[in-house]
Amino acid sequence: MNASKISARNVNVFYGQKQAISDVSLDFDSDVVTALIGPSGCGKSTFLRTLNRMNDTIANARVEGRIALDGEDIYAAEMDVVQLRARVGMVFQKPNPFPKSIFENVAYGPRIHGLASGSAQLADIVERSLKRAGLWDEVKDRLSDSGTALSGGQQQRLCIARAIAVDPEVILMDEPCSALDPIATARIEELIHELKGRYAIVIVTHNMQQAARVSQRTAFFHLGSLVEYGTTSDIFTNPRQERTKDYITGRYG
Amino acid sequence: MSDGVAPIVPGTAAPVTVPARMPTDWQTASRQTRIRRRYAAEARFRLMGLFAVVMSAGFLAILLFTMISNGIGGFAQTRIALPIDFPRAGLTLDQARLKGPGADLALAGAGLPEATQAAAIVAYGPDGDKLLSDGAWLRVRDQVKANPALLRGRATLWVPAADTIDIAAKHDGAPADEAIVAKLKAMGALSTGFNAFFLTASDSTDPTMAGIWGALKGSIFTMVVTLLIAFPVGVLSALYLEEYATRNRFTDLIEVSINNLAAVPSIIFGLLGLAVFLNTFHLPRSAALVGGLTLALMTMPVIVIASRNAIKAVPPSIRDAALGVGASPIQVVFHHVLPLALPGILTGTIIGMARALGETAPLLMIGMRAFISAPPDRLSDPATVLPVQIFLWSDQVNRGFVEKTSAAIIVLLVFLLAMNGVAIYLRNKFETRW
Ligand SMILES: Nc1ncnc2c1ncn2[C@@H]1O[C@H](COP(=O)(O)OP(=O)(O)OP(=O)(O)O)[C@@H](O)[C@H]1O
Ligand SMILES: [Mg+2]
């Protein structure tokens, strides 16, 4: 069990009185892409946000259970949340670039963590991150333009570049491709393939083909509970639960 | 469409069918009336808005027009030509003392005031000295200081006229004064010029000698103190309440208190300033320092409220984005929230400062209504401010102060516009940074 990068045990999440996640236990390994699927409102984003404690920012959210990163409880009092979020990066469901230049958007993380020793190295990190996010060719001539002036799909790739610029160990992606065209989606999927070897990647998606293409493990959520978890090929070809089968064959969702 | 129609089979009951809805017909009379009414409502609303804008612009124009037409005379000064024969004036003067800091004293002691009066009597008859402003000799002094060579011979100097002559020359004065003015004009001994002295002198009992500089400097000092206290304290409180404080009874109480504080009549702040700064801490009376502190108390709630609204308006997704790459709460605030909220914060600050600049009542309470004839040099010096100066002058019986009052109002308005201009410049600068 200790081999897992992140292990979640008996996690419950409440928004005030309302329980959004009940008793979920899941492991995420370092060289594996895990897809979280399930109908809208089933708690995928909520669960994802527990993994880097982004739920802390929601005043009435409460998390129970144990979530460990490399065996260390991330909800322990001595956990440094800032460092945790640098190690567990996140791409949000809605693109949220800073209202700053494209360059500044990507350079922000490395700058606040002092990852670059000099502006040349910083520019290098920015270029590399934008290339990996498949955005470089579109923006290389206008790095000083505002990030918010990009199209929705370009903004999402900018956010991905921003997340990978700090070289996290885990990347949480909440429907990163929902605003992208098929070409940009294919680039992101390529990126996920490329990153797979080094990072633990957790991706929420409503696109079954995408889940099948990019992930090795799939977890199916329904009404706040984990219904089924297994290798992606098992879930898609041979689901054990009726609900899973209904969902992936499109009978509801 | 035919699929939707159930086949009619004899002997079976017709199934209940929901009639398919036809597309809405927009051409019917009732729809057309609705559309016409909508256009009419929109046109009415536009007209009302236009009317409101025109009306407020009209009031502003009337205000500016009356202020400027009344006050512009305050910037002009009527001068009389005064021939003085210096060698015969009997000045007892040590030429060497004309240079350096002792010059003013030396000239005053040398009998220059008397010499000026005597010259007026020589030139314009036994009542000649009444034609000149009490401070006329000061202008003679300044010109002599600038050019000591004058002392060697006869010279004709332009000196300010007495306020009765000034009024008669500009508007209509007493018949006797009007006659004198007509005579002087015929002699070419009367001229009108820009009263630079108004912008460099302080209060005086003689309207021809009174200036606005003392009050303006007092206002600047007071505003600086107010800004230095109210802005940082207000913005930091707003940041703390919005970004750090957990919501509980205590923070609710603070919020209610601040909102109420913003609505407290300003004179109450004057009483507070009197009780706290003067009676408890024994700070100097009438000082810009105390005035600034008192106005800061008044301005701070406005800044807190405006800043909180501006901070609330920063989208949470920006905070998420920054936290998501591992920014600390302080970095989130200073790198993202504050820059985005700054335009709104500056707008609130300028509203609060503008209100403070025009405030009279609380400053009267802390003694800033004294007659002060020298501009303050330090924050603790006795000072007055523009609105109090306007209030004091408007109370004067001397007619010469009427246009000084309006002129002071113009100075106050210009100060206000300058302050607004700086704030708008800063706001645009921060808005276009990305
Ligand atoms: N801030 C919040 N406060 C209260 N309830 C919330 C909050 N955020 C989410 N919820 C509730 O928690 C449940 C799970 O929401 P969540 O956003 O995790 O769903 P999701 O699976 O990500 O859905 P989608 O696929 O539409 O993004 C929903 O019922 C939602 O209404
Ligand atoms: Mg979601």
pLDDT per position as a tens digit, B125-142: 888 778 888 878 888 888
Buried b (16+ CB within 10 A) or exposed e, B14-46: eeeeeeeeeeeeeeeeeeeeeeeeeeeeeeeee
Neighbours of A186 (CB within 10 A): 15
User: What is the C-alpha separation between B346 and B427, in angstroms, rounded?
Assistant: 7
Residue B6 pLDDT > 50: no
Buried b (16+ CB within 10 A) or exposed e, B343-365: bbbbbbbbbbbbebbbbbbbbbb
Chain segment B292-346, per-residue pLDDT in tens:
999 999 999 999 999 999 999 999 999 999 999 999 999 999 999 999 999 899 9
Amino acid at A202: V
Q: Which of residues A31 and B238 earns the better pLDDT score?
A: B238
User: What's the token pair of residue A118?
Assistant: 């000099």
Using the predicted structure, report yes or no on whether residue B285 has a pLDDT greater than 50.
yes
* Residue B66 neighbours by CB distance under 10 Å: 12
Report whether pLDDT(A111) > 70: yes
Nearest CA to ligand 1 atom 16: A43
The ligand that comes nearest to the alpha carbon of residue A13 is: 1
A173 or B197: which leads in pLDDT: A173
Which CATH class for the B213-430 domain?
Answer: mainly alpha
Indicate the burial class of A35 (C-beta count within 10 angstroms; 0-12, 13-18, 19 or more): buried
Residues A92, B336: C-beta atoms closer than 8 Å:
no
Q: Per mean pLDDT, which of A141-145, A152-156, B150-154, B190-194 is the most reliable? A: A141-145
Instruction: Indicate whether A68 pLDDT > 60.
Output: yes
d(C-alpha B299, C-alpha B348), whole Å: 10
- Average confidence (pLDDT) over B170-197: 80
The 3-state DSSP class for residue A10 equals: strand
- At residue A101, what are phi and psi to the nearest 5 degrees? -70, 160
CA distance to A27, A44, A163, per residue, from A67 (Å): 10, 16, 21
**Interface size, chain A vs chain B, as Cβ–Cβ contacts under 8 Å:** 69
Instruction: Give B377 to chain A, closest Cα distance, Å.
Output: 44
Nearest to A57 among B320, B326, B340 (CB): B320
Distance CA B367, CA B369 (A): 5
Do B70 and B404 meet the contact criterion of CB atoms below 8 Å apart?
no
Angle at B339 between CA B335 and CA B344, to 5 degrees: 150
Q: Which residues are CB-contacts of B389 (< 8 A; sequence separation ≥ 6)?
A: B203, B212, B214, B215, B408
Please, which residues bridge with residue A33 across strands? A201
Answer yes or no: are the C-beta atoms of B361 and B270 closer than 8 Å: yes
Name all residues whose Cβ lies below 6 A of ligand 1. Answer: A 15, 20, 40-46, 58, 93
Residue B7 clears pLDDT 70, i.e. is over it: no
- CB–CB of B335 and A59 under 8 A? no
Distance (Å, whole) CA A178 – CA A94: 9
Mutation pick for ligand 1 pocket among A11, A12, A13, A15 (CB with most ligand atoms within 8 Å): A15
Give the distance from residue B433's alpha carbon to the nearest chain A alpha carbon, in angstroms: 8
Gap between the terminal Cα atoms of chain A? 33
**Candidate from A13, A17, A44, A58 with most ligand 1 atoms within 8 A of CB, to mutate:** A44
pLDDT band at B434 (very low <50, low <70, confident <90, very high): very low
Report which residue type is found at B249. R
pLDDT given at position B367: 85
Do A96 and B318 make contact, defined as CB atoms within 8 angstroms? yes
If one compares B104 and B278, the residue with the highest pLDDT of the two is B278
Question: Rounded to two decimals, what is the model's pTM?
Answer: 0.81
Mean model confidence pLDDT for chain A: 90
Judge contact between B79 and B158, C-beta under 8 A: yes
Domains contained in chain A, CATH given: 6-98+170-248 (3.40.50.300)
Residue B13: which pLDDT band, with cuts at 50, 70 and 90?
Answer: low
Q: Give pLDDT tens digits for B353-404.
A: 999 999 999 999 888 887 888 888 888 888 899 999 999 998 887 777 888 8
Q: What percent of chain A has pLDDT over 70?
A: 98
Tell me if A163 and B320 make a contact (CB, 8 A cut-off).
Answer: no
Secondary structure string (H, E, C) spanning B113-173: HHHHHHHHHHHHCCCHHHHECCCHHHHHHHHHHHCHHHHHCEEEEEEEECHHHHHHHHCCC
**Mean pLDDT computed over A90-110:** 93
Domain spans, chain B: 73-195, 213-430
Closest ligand by atom to A92 CA: 2
pLDDT at A166: 93
CA dist., res. A153 & res. A140, Å (int)? 16
Query: What's the pLDDT at B3?
Result: 44
Closest Cα in chain A, distance from residue B30 (Å):
43
Q: What is the pLDDT of residues A194-220, one digit of tens each?
A: 888 778 999 999 999 999 999 999 999
- The pLDDT value given to residue B171: 76
Atom nearest to A49 CA in ligand 1: 18
**Which pLDDT does position B16 carry in this prediction?**
66
- Residues of A with a Cβ under 8 Å from any B Cβ are 52, 54, 57, 59, 82-87, 89-90, 92, 94, 96-101, 104, 108-109, 112-113, 146, 148, 159, 162-163, 165-166
How far is ligand 1, taken at its centre, from the CA of residue A163, in Å? 23
| pLDDT value at B99 more than 90 | no
- Looking at the predicted structure, is the pLDDT value of residue B166 above 90? no
Q: Cβ of B315: how many Cβ atoms within 10 Å? A: 12
Q: What is the pLDDT confidence band of residue B122, given thresholds at 50, 70 and 90?
A: confident
Q: Which two tokens stand for residue A21?
A: 């996640």
> Are residues A5 and A69 in contact, defined by beta-carbon separation less than 8 angstroms?
yes
8 A C-beta contact, residue A69 and residue A170: yes
Residue B1 is predicted with a pLDDT of: 40
Contact B326 A166 (CB under 8 A): yes
